[in-house]
Amino acid sequence: MIKKQPNMNAGAAVLFVIFSLLFFILIFRFISIQVTGEVHGQALAARAQQKYSNEKVIEATRGTIFDRKGEVVAEDTTAYTLVAILNDSVTTNKKKPKHVSDPAKTAAVLAKYIDMSESEIYKRLTKKGAWQVEFGKAGRDITNQTKRQIEEEKLPGITFLRDSKRFYPNGVFSSHLVGFVEKEENEDKKSVTTGQLGIEKTLNDELTGENGTLSFESDLWGFLLPDGEKKVTPAKDGSNVFLTIDKKIQTFVEDAVDRVDEEYKPKKIIAVVADPKTGDILAMAQRPSFHPTTREGLDNSWHNEVVETPIEPGSTMKIFTLAAAIEENKWNPNERYKSGKYKVTENSREISDHNGSGWGSITYLEGIQRSSNVAVAKLVNEKIGTEKFREYLTKFGFDEPTGIDLPNEASGTIVYRWPIEKITTSYGQGSTVTPIQMIQAATAVANDGKMMKPRVIDKIVDPNTGEIIEQDAPESVGQPISAETAKEVREVLGTVVTGEHGTGKSYAIDGYEVAGKTGTANLTANGSYLGGANDYLFSFLGMAPKDDPKLIVYVAVQQPEIDHYFKGSIPTSMIFKSVMQSSLQYLNIKPASLEKADSSPVPDITGLNAAEAKKLLESKGFEAVLIGDGSQVEDQLPKADVLALEGEKVFIRASGVMTYPDMTDWSLRDVMKLAQIADIKLNKAGSGYVTKQSLKPGIPINEGENLIVELETPLQQFEKSMKPEEESEEAEEVGG
């Protein structure tokens, strides 16, 4: 029998005492927790709730921006970020890897779908020590379609993070007006979307909305407990915004400025279309511009030139000088004055007309048509008075910003200290204004004296209910001139386009009466005017139809690539005419010629005496074209009873020898009628109106022979007429 050692008994006794104390401490702690429900002063229920409750953010959708007709301009769409998992610890079954197991193959496949080279992708996929990698800009904003295509490739380790992005479906589309957004981190290190320019910035709070939350109880692994409580605070989506912009008209503008930008490569282009009755901005574009989704071009074009950049307006300012003279009863269109040069005071520098020498003694009407600086200088200095003229500048809104709903609006500066400055302001030199101020002032002329505040926001709408939260109504901001004055101003400006001496001939539009004024403003650098052939801001401020304008279009082109300033009207008129004509037709504004012309059936003249037939057609309002020297009508075109417009050509084929008429200025349609009735073959070169014909007027027509006609547009004819004499009196004005 083994005897127990005394030291073993002592050790056992010590252990017994220790375990007894621990047991009593645990019992005490258990009873204490049961009674108080707290641990270290904290409620156990709260700790449990904290551990097993989860809270998720329900992101609000940013409001959609629409044009005036509900076409989407900017909206939130689902996007994905491409992610590659590299760490092999996530793979538990080697037959079904969860990480990138074949970097070379994965790189080759991904290169087909994202804008990154295969070698760069491979470099990222083989990055040592990385758990996972992304692919920068190339791997962000992945569309749902591209995501599905990549998923179908079944690449191990390739996954996606869901996100939202701002999508601008029209690309470069009034980008400075609409703006763009960027994601930034706030104070809580959370990513927030913020508008950076245009409407996105102005209405950022309304567009942003408020995020919601989802709280729920879960188990250790984050799964929802069967009887767990859920608490949902719904997200409040951002409000939808409807602009005054018309997508169709904006597209006309973008296309027109693109053509000029490509052909003439100017430093800047500005184009604005407005409704003078309401002040609604229907289109606004500039070059350079940028793509709001990709930001491409933004470094060259941060400012909205229409509202943020004051310019010397040049002779477009003469519109408002003329309006002031008419309103003050100081305008006599038939009164004569000596053009050329004029001194405001004995010691002031001379004011010159743009051709340097003037045109001798001419009427004030001719002076406006020719864009004479001396004409408006004399009107202000000798008739209106400089102080009274200054009042009109204020009435027309040139002293302060318009208040348009776009950020960072600037105001021009009216320089009006010295006598010479007061006069140069009358023809747009020295003082500055913004293009949007010009648009606002022009509404008074187009809208029978009532000046309308420019606006780009029509209404703000709740996205869930469709309820209108805010409706911006058109706002009149004064009446600087009477309706009678406005009408007379438009009549005078109409002659700038149609008159024999008008500088605006190249802005005429077939079928529509245009009223407007050209402008050629000198550009400055380091405090002095530049002297290069193209160192000007060429502009035109026009409205149509003249009697009741439905649209105002302002176009400015800075330093296009031309070899003489008189050609500055070419790129400017290319934009104006294209935009104005397309927009009027889109708005179903009928051409003036069609409004005035009556259609009636063509009478049957076959068998009649040729001379009598000619008289009959003319009595019905048609233009008779007689071919053939005989006395009896053998054929006619259009045929009897066909409806034709008043003034349309009706061809009479008489007996005898047919001879070619003079086809100068005929339309192609009329030449085709001649070819049909005379049975000849027609070939054409160019488009527009006839300038040359291969078979001269008066020579006999032989059936089956070839006739060649050359055609040119009015713009081409105008440009050609300017070439022989560069300093011709039809040239655009300089410095005013």
Higher confidence at residue 226 or residue 617?
617
Please indicate, yes or no, whether the overall pTM of this predicted structure exceeds 0.85: no
In a domain, 160, yes or no: yes
Res 567: pLDDT: 85
Lowest mean pLDDT among 288-292, 512-516, 588-592: 588-592
Res 79: pLDDT: 84
In angstroms, the CA 512 to CA 589 distance is: 9
- Cα dihedral angle (716, 717, 723, 727), rounded to 10 degrees? -110
In angstroms, the CA 22 to CA 19 distance is: 5
CATH number, domain of 278, equals 3.40.710.10
- With a CB cutoff of 8 Å and minimum separation 6, the contacts of 433 are 310, 311, 313, 317, 398, 412
In angstroms, the CA 231 to CA 216 distance is: 6
- Asked if residue 539 and residue 394 are part of one domain, the reply reads yes
Annotated catalytic sites, by residue? 315
- Asked if residue 555 and residue 604 are part of one domain, the reply reads no
Q: Is the bond into 700 cis (omega within 30 degrees of 0)?
A: no
- Asked if residue 652 and residue 586 are part of one domain, the reply reads no
In a domain, 724, yes or no: no
**Per-residue pLDDT at 40 exceeds 70:** no
In angstroms, the CA 172 to CA 84 distance is: 33
User: For 402-420, how does the pLDDT look when each residue is reduced to its tens digit (9 = 90+)?
Assistant: 999 999 999 999 999 999 9
Mean pLDDT of 47-71: 72
C-alpha to C-alpha distances, 458 to 169, 208, 641, nearest whole angstrom: 20, 18, 50
pLDDT level of residue 31 (50, 70, 90 thresholds): low
Of 404, 335, 395, which Cα lies nearest the Cα of 176? 404
Mean pLDDT of 353-370: 94
In angstroms, the CA 350 to CA 346 distance is: 9
In angstroms, the CA 654 to CA 417 distance is: 74
- Asked if residue 253 and residue 213 are part of one domain, the reply reads no
Rg (CA), the chain: 39
Res 415: pLDDT: 95
* Domain encompassing residue 101: 56-243
Q: Chain-wide mean pLDDT for the chain?
A: 86
Q: How far is CA 358 from the centre of its chain?
A: 39
Res 293: pLDDT: 87
The DSSP line for 655-710 is SS--B----TT-BHHHHHHHHHHHT-EEEEEESSEEEEESS-TTSBP-TT-EEEEE
In a domain, 254, yes or no: yes
**Per-residue pLDDT at 14 exceeds 90:** no
Res 480: pLDDT: 98
Higher confidence at residue 624 or residue 322?
322
Of 606, 608, 613, which Cα lies nearest the Cα of 635? 606
Which one-letter amino acid corresponds to residue 228? G
Lowest mean pLDDT among 129-143, 550-564, 702-716: 702-716
Mean pLDDT of 640-666: 87
pLDDT level of residue 683 (50, 70, 90 thresholds): confident
- 23: helix, coil or strand? helix
Lowest mean pLDDT among 22-36, 244-258, 384-398, 607-621: 22-36
**Per-residue pLDDT at 518 exceeds 90:** yes
Res 718: pLDDT: 58
Lowest mean pLDDT among 11-25, 118-132, 166-180, 658-672: 11-25
**Per-residue pLDDT at 730 exceeds 90:** no
Lowest mean pLDDT among 40-54, 600-614, 672-686: 40-54
Res 35: pLDDT: 47
In a domain, 652, yes or no: yes
| DSSP structural state of residue 452 | B
In a domain, 735, yes or no: no
Last residue of a domain, one of 526, 559, 592: 592
Res 50: pLDDT: 42
- Tracing tokens 């014909």 back to the chain, one arrives at 693
Contact by Cβ (8 Å): 297, 288: yes
- Asked if residue 382 and residue 344 are part of one domain, the reply reads yes
- Asked if residue 221 and residue 203 are part of one domain, the reply reads yes
- Tracing tokens 């990709």 back to the chain, one arrives at 294
Lowest mean pLDDT among 74-83, 281-290, 597-606: 597-606
Contact by Cβ (8 Å): 318, 428: yes
In angstroms, the CA 426 to CA 432 distance is: 11
In a domain, 520, yes or no: yes
Res 136: pLDDT: 84
Expressed in angstroms, the distance from the first to the final Cα of the chain is: 131
Of 698, 704, 697, 700, which Cα lies nearest the Cα of 676? 704
Res 217: pLDDT: 56
- Asked if residue 359 and residue 229 are part of one domain, the reply reads no
Higher confidence at residue 388 or residue 669?
388
**Per-residue pLDDT at 131 exceeds 70:** yes
- Asked if residue 553 and residue 506 are part of one domain, the reply reads yes
In a domain, 725, yes or no: no
**Per-residue pLDDT at 223 exceeds 90:** no
- Asked if residue 528 and residue 504 are part of one domain, the reply reads yes
- Asked if residue 422 and residue 278 are part of one domain, the reply reads yes
- 174: helix, coil or strand? coil
- Asked if residue 528 and residue 562 are part of one domain, the reply reads yes
- Asked if residue 164 and residue 136 are part of one domain, the reply reads yes
Last residue of a domain, one of 227, 243, 259: 243
- Structurally, how many domains does the chain consist of? 4
- Cα dihedral angle (693, 696, 698, 704), rounded to 10 degrees? -70
**Per-residue pLDDT at 46 exceeds 80:** no
In a domain, 664, yes or no: yes
In angstroms, the CA 400 to CA 407 distance is: 15
Res 42: pLDDT: 42
- Compute the half-sphere exposure of residue 712: CA atoms within 13 Å on the CB side of its CA: 12
CATH number, domain of 654, equals 3.30.10.20
Q: How far is CA 718 from the centre of its chain?
A: 28
Residues of the chain above pLDDT 90, percent: 56
Which one-letter amino acid corresponds to residue 393? L
Res 120: pLDDT: 94
